[in-house]
Every structure is written in structure tokens, then in C-alpha cells.
């Protein structure tokens, strides 16, 4: 059962490519063993050379973004196979919120089931957040799930879309069963 989602502040890493699929998020080789470090496998093909050495210019290998808790991703994030491990890898790396103009349906649902906030924003809002992440690298964004908004380093607030039932379940830490029982009572 997920834990109640708490508001937080953190660094946002820009990764604005469209159609980032779950195989890019976590390659299958990192899912072969229960002892695999899924956080280390996050974007492994983009983060590491074949020798295992980090690729210095990949965003999550650079300061301050290697400490990001928010990922700014392009549209249709999490497309491809229905790998729930993609959500697990993001969480194990330390990402608690992915902000994007859209998400693949299965990834979106898996995010809620595991306590990762998929914040849907308009393209204009996304572009502003992206500019803030690049122009104010290392400064914090503040995520407020109850208000469904993220405060940018400039002080501007951006609203994100989330179904009220999903928002309330995340705030309570309810899983699908608890949400169903709550609706039936």
C-alpha cells in the first residue's frame, strides 16, 4: 500500500523528448533479478557507456540534476510496454513527480498505484517549467498535490491536471482496494 503523498520541494531535471518509452526508462536487463538496483538502471542506455562509465553530458549524471526529485518529460511519457518497473526505477532513483503534457495510459495508472505523481500540464505550462529548470538550475520547485500546483523558482505557480479521486487517494495513501471500499461505504 502506498504511503500518503506529502508535499515536497526539489530540483527538476529537464528531459523534454517526446515518446520516451518504458524500455528507455528501465532496460529489461535491469529487471532480471530481484536484487537489481532499478534506480541505477534508470535510463541506463542513455546514462552509461557500454563499459559502465557514466555519460557525463546526460542530464541525470550532471550536477545539480543528479539529485532531481522531479522530472520534466516530453509528451507521451512512458509509452511502449506495460513495464511497472519503469515507475519503480524512477522512484528508486528519487524521482517523486513526473511533469509532462501527456502520459501513456498504462504508465499513468501504474504511477498512481506506486505513489509516483504524474502531473499533466499544458504544453505552454510545460515550456515555462522547462525554461525555469534550465534557467534556474539547482533552484527548487515546490509540489503541492492538494492544490494541484507546482511553484516554480521564479515564484510563478503552475496548475496541473489530476483526477480528484486520484489526488485524494494519493494524499491518503490509499491503494485501489482502499479507494474502492471508500467509494462503496
Domain edges within the chain:
8-184
Q: What angle do CA 111, 149, 158 make, to 5 degrees?
A: 115
Q: pTM of the prediction?
A: 0.93
- Model confidence at 136: pLDDT above 70: yes
Q: According to the model, what pLDDT value does residue 82 have?
A: 82
Q: According to the model, what pLDDT value does residue 174 have?
A: 79
Taken in order 165, 166, 168, 169, the sign of the CA dihedral is positive
CATH H-level, domain 8-184: superfamily? Aconitase, domain 4 (3.20.19.10)
- The fraction of the chain above a pLDDT of 70, given in percent, is 92
Q: What does the block give as the cell for 79?
A: 509509452
105-114 vs 164-172: helix crossing angle, rounded to 10: 30
Q: What is the mean pLDDT of residues 110-125?
A: 96
Burial class (CB in 10 A: 0-12, 13-18, 19+), 110: buried
Amino acid at each position: 500500500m502506498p504511503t500518503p503523498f506529502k508535499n515536497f520541494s526539489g530540483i527538476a531535471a529537464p528531459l523534454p523528448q517526446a515518446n520516451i518509452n518504458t524500455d528507455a526508462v528501465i532496460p529489461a536487463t535491469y529487471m532480471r533479478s530481484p536484487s537489481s538496483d532499478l534506480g541505477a538502471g534508470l535510463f541506463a542506455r542513455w546514462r552509461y557507456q557500454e563499459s559502465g562509465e557514466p555519460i557525463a553530458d546526460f542530464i541525470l549524471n550532471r550536477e545539480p540534476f543528479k539529485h532531481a526529485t522531479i522530472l520534466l518529460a516530453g509528451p507521451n511519457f512512458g509509452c511502449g510496454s506495460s513495464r511497472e518497473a519503469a515507475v519503480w526505477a524512477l522512484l528508486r532513483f528519487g524521482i517523486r513527480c513526473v511533469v509532462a503534457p501527456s502520459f501513456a495510459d498504462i504508465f499513468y495508472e501504474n504511477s498512481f498505484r506506486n505513489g509516483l505523481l504524474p502531473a499533466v500540464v499544458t504544453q505552454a505550462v510545460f515550456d515555462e517549467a522547462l525554461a525555469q529548470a534550465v534557467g534556474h538550475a539547482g533552484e527548487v520547485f515546490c509540489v503541492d498535490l492538494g492544490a494541484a500546483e507546482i511553484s516554480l523558482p521564479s515564484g510563478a505557480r503552475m496548475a496541473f491536471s489530476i483526477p480528484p479521486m486520484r489526488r485524494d487517494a494519493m494524499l491518503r495513501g490509499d491503494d485501489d482496494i482502499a479507494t474502492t471500499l471508500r467509494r462503496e461505504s
